[in-house]
Structure 1
Amino acid sequence: MTLRATLQARLAERRERGLYRQLKTLEAAPSPTAVVDGRSMVAFSSNDYLGLACHPQVIAAQQEGARLGAGATASHLVNGHLQIHEALQEEIAAATGREAALVFSSGYAANMGTICALIGRGDSIVSDKLNHASLIDGARLSRAESLRFAHSDTAALARQLQRARNTGGNTLVAVDGVYSMDGDCAPLAEIAGLCREHDAWLMVDEAHGFGLMGSEKLPVAGSAAAMGLTGEDAPILMGTLGKAAGNAGAFVAGSRELIDYLVQFARTYIYTTGMPPAVASGALAALQVMQREPERQQRLRNNIDRFRRGAAERGLPLGDSTSPIQPLLLGCDQTVMRVAAELATQGFLVGAIRPPTVPVGTARLRITLSAAHDPAQITALLAALDSALEDAGALSTGSSEVRP
């Protein structure tokens, strides 16, 4: 069969299964209103949790950073490492309470490069079954023995850690701090304890925790800090700059030795062009704003509480999440698409998430909240959800269709 015929057949199969993905075109980043395919909508699908993507100081910093060049012109190790990258790394290290940090072009690159640099044949990687795709793919490409455990099941993790210990080699445990589709937090304190017991290294993906939570001393460091973990407990910390920071790129933070090691061995860092200076400048400004304006975190928490209270009053089948990610679990792929389409007609952009992004039978609306949403927008979304779910016949059956 020709390449074109093969592609056409596979695309047709995806359409028949109702899993075909289509791009939406926005005129600008949602703030949180957006013009989508020519229509004005309120976006509840963005990861701009603190509303920094359109912050005037962040945009001004990006524009000033562009004066340093449209691009870094080469990989960091050739001649693409600028003073603005160094300043950003120092700010990240301080914000996370780590000795050093290293910026990557994306969270996917950071996870893949770090995992493959740290472990290989003869080693083991133990992963939560609901880990982000970048952690899953990093585990596959590392060629280490890949062991998985049921979501946040620490007893299952302990069994896998014992298996890994029996086979010898080094063991890396990789988990999301906050899970991107369920919005729940990993039991990091228990996981860190098991890692100490079994001499394993803990890697925490803080893509959806960095900037939003932390400790009194490190208020934006992420879920690991919020649960009291130190750099010894979680020696490998990955975070993104395209979510709470509203920019792009990612970082790994840890000991000075870890960062020096990744500069030598992380192929996704070594063999790619450096982050554009405008992005580094904007991300640096965003980190400074989020630390200078803790009221953004408080507004976000208030919005999460407001949404969950309203959803509970209406009996909506929400997942158990206190993060900005609020999954409305419907189970049926077709129902999710119908409800999302109805919400769009009422002026709300909400993500409809289906397999293979989530397990079969767990399709959901992925509603994300931001500090930039006002109470009236949240109230209006709840009313629209009520009517859309009723029209789709999902209010009485949604909760029974999802996994426990």
Structure 2
Amino acid sequence: MNPNLESQLNEELEELKNNDLERTVDDLRFISSTKATDKEGKEFLVFGTNNYLGLTHHGDVIKAAQEASIYGTGSTGSRLTTGASFEARELENNISEFKNVESTLIFNTGYMTNLGVIYALTKENDIIFSDQLNHASIIDGTRISKAKVKVYKHKDTEDLERLIQIELEESTKNNEEKNNNSNFFIVSDGVFSMDGDIAPLPELVEIADKYNCTLIIDEAHATGVIGKNGKGTVEYYKDKTGIDLTDSVDLQIGTLSKALASEGGFVCGKQVYIDYLINKSRPFIFSTALSPATIASANAALNLLKENSEEYLNNLNENTRLMRKLLCDAGLNIVDGETPIIPIIIGPADLANKISKELEKEGILVSSIRPPSVPKDMSRLRLTVIATHTKDEIEYTAQKIIEIWNILNKN
């Protein structure tokens, strides 16, 4: 028993509560892709999920999970022991074909994918250049690595190049050369989770090529969301420029838990990277594999995306444009963008909490995002629109957000 630790923890929790930064877990049961109920049976419209295509409740996805369940409710071991299900291999091959890469490896979560990839590939003499607003999983991956970490200003490729040049000049000053045993890595989200903006991939590729850097892009919020067929950041820029950057991105990291309506993560790219991770990535080696049902549902969702990408992406984009227009026309402080992540900047954490609670009373769930997820005085409502929201649901939600904002902001 350690009363000192308990006292310290209670003090920190009390401080979080006093600053409107306390987090709690509220149980929900989804009854459709856009609606959920609480324990009392109250029904809510949900505008805070990452279920971008709304496929969690699609009949084909549910059927695939049910059919795969006959092979057991769990995988019973890691992929390297007894957990190497046929479903996992099928999904990996499907992702590779979808992303037009050589190979794919599935992890238990997108979070563990970033940790497992960054920690395994980087060594003590390496340097990681990481975007300032990268996801926590990237940040934590760089922290547990033995590599030196340099953080560049958000999407500022001039600052990135400046930092790389400083490191090269430092090596020259110390009469050293960047040799084959010392590697530079550039790591960036494709779509950033809090602001919903898109990484400047062509510039990142140019810099990576110029300085022989390994380029890793996290596609968690990009796969199934941007690009003509939902293939992510590479396709998004190919649509705009006509230039295919697939081979210029060494590794794409993704998740099965957002647009692909299941659970888990993946990394895809050249075969040599995947073979190395199978042998060296501890989160892959020592984790029990995902269940056949979980993997089968992700594969079914991916097949639906491939077969119906135009329909899903059109619905998602139309819904996104409608919500953004309604909120912008009302004068709310919306972060500019084109993705379905729509941050409404509120400012103080207590006001963001109040608005979220008032929306909850109206039967609408929208996430209140506060520090440390975002900077101080940049608390926000993180609104996410999905392809299966109806026009009525979007208009009703926008109306309530505007009404509550106008009331609370005046007070």
Under TM normalisation by the shorter chain, which class is it?
Answer: over 0.9
Determine whether 1:97 maps to 2:100. Answer: yes
Shift of 1:20: 0.3
Determine whether 1:340 maps to 2:356. Answer: yes
CA distance in 2, matches of 1:161, 1:246: 38
Determine whether 1:388 maps to 2:396. Answer: no
CA distance in 2, matches of 1:29, 1:221: 28
CA distance in 2, matches of 1:181, 1:8: 29
Q: Partner amino acid for 1:195?
A: A
Shift of 1:306: 0.7
Shift of 1:394: 6.3
Structure 1: gaps spanning 5 or more residues: 396-404
2:199 to 161, 164, 186: 186
Correspondence for 1:114:
117
CA distance in 1, matches of 2:230, 2:273: 21
Judging changes above 3 Å, is the alpha-carbon distance between structure 1 residues 201 and 237 closer, same or farther for their aligned structure 2 residues? same
Alignment: residue pair count: 392
Shift of 1:353: 0.1
Identity of aligned residues (%): 34
Correspondence for 2:234:
224
Correspondence for 1:4:
6
Shift of 1:30: 4.9
SS in 2 for 1:184: coil
2:144 to 119, 141, 145: 141
Determine whether 1:250 maps to 2:253. Answer: no
Deviations 1:373-402 (A, max 9, x none): 00001110111011110111169xxxxxxx
Shift of 1:172: 0.7
Contact 1:72 1:277 in 2 (8 A): yes
Shift of 1:67: 1.1
Correspondence for 1:373:
389
Shift of 1:37: 4.1
Contact 2:220 2:258 in 1 (8 A): yes
Correspondence for 2:27:
25
Deviations 1:82-119 (A, max 9, x none): 11110000000001110110000001110001001111
Q: Give 1:147-186 correspondences, 5 Å limit.
A: 147-166=150-169, 167=171, 168=178, 169-186=182-199
2:49 to 42, 46, 50: 46
Q: TM-score, normalised by structure 2?
A: 0.93
CA distance in 2, matches of 1:112, 1:179: 17
Judging changes above 3 Å, is the alpha-carbon distance between structure 1 residues 136 and 257 closer, same or farther for their aligned structure 2 residues? same
2:319 to 287, 303, 320: 303
Shift of 1:211: 1.2
Contact 1:352 1:365 in 2 (8 A): yes
CA distance in 2, matches of 1:377, 1:340: 17
Q: Partner amino acid for 2:16?
A: R
CA distance in 2, matches of 1:101, 1:76: 14
Determine whether 1:356 maps to 2:372. Answer: yes
Judging changes above 3 Å, is the alpha-carbon distance between structure 1 residues 116 and 326 closer, same or farther for their aligned structure 2 residues? same
Shift of 1:27: 2.0
Contact 1:29 1:53 in 2 (8 A): no
Deviations 1:136-159 (A, max 9, x none): 000011110000011111111111
Contact 2:230 2:313 in 1 (8 A): no
Deviations 1:197-247 (A, max 9, x none): 1110110000000012235xxx23211221134332111100100000110
Determine whether 1:87 maps to 2:90. Answer: yes
Correspondence for 1:71:
74
Contact 2:187 2:216 in 1 (8 A): yes
The CA RMSD measured in Å over matched residues stands at 1.4
Q: Partner amino acid for 1:135?
A: I
Contact 1:165 1:198 in 2 (8 A): no
Runs (4+) off by over 6 Å:
none
SS in 2 for 1:392: helix
SS in 1 for 2:81: helix
SS in 1 for 2:216: strand
Deviations 1:289-339 (A, max 9, x none): 111112011100000111111112111110012111000011111110111
Deviations 1:24-61 (A, max 9, x none): 11123652011134321100001000001111110110
Determine whether 1:317 maps to 2:333. Answer: yes
Shift of 1:347: 1.2
CA distance in 1, matches of 2:341, 2:29: 24
Q: TM-score, normalised by structure 1?
A: 0.94
Contact 1:24 1:37 in 2 (8 A): no
SS in 2 for 1:243: coil
CA distance in 1, matches of 2:166, 2:79: 39
User: Which deviates further from its counterpart, 50-59 or 2-11?
Assistant: 2-11
2:300 to 272, 275, 285: 285
Correspondence for 1:398:
none
Deviations 1:46-79 (A, max 9, x none): 1000001111110110111111111111111112
Contact 2:197 2:338 in 1 (8 A): yes
CA distance in 2, matches of 1:61, 1:113: 28
Determine whether 1:272 maps to 2:287. Answer: yes
Contact 1:97 1:221 in 2 (8 A): no
Q: Partner amino acid for 1:226?
A: Y
Contact 1:165 1:171 in 2 (8 A): no
Structure 2: gaps spanning 5 or more residues: 172-177, 239-243
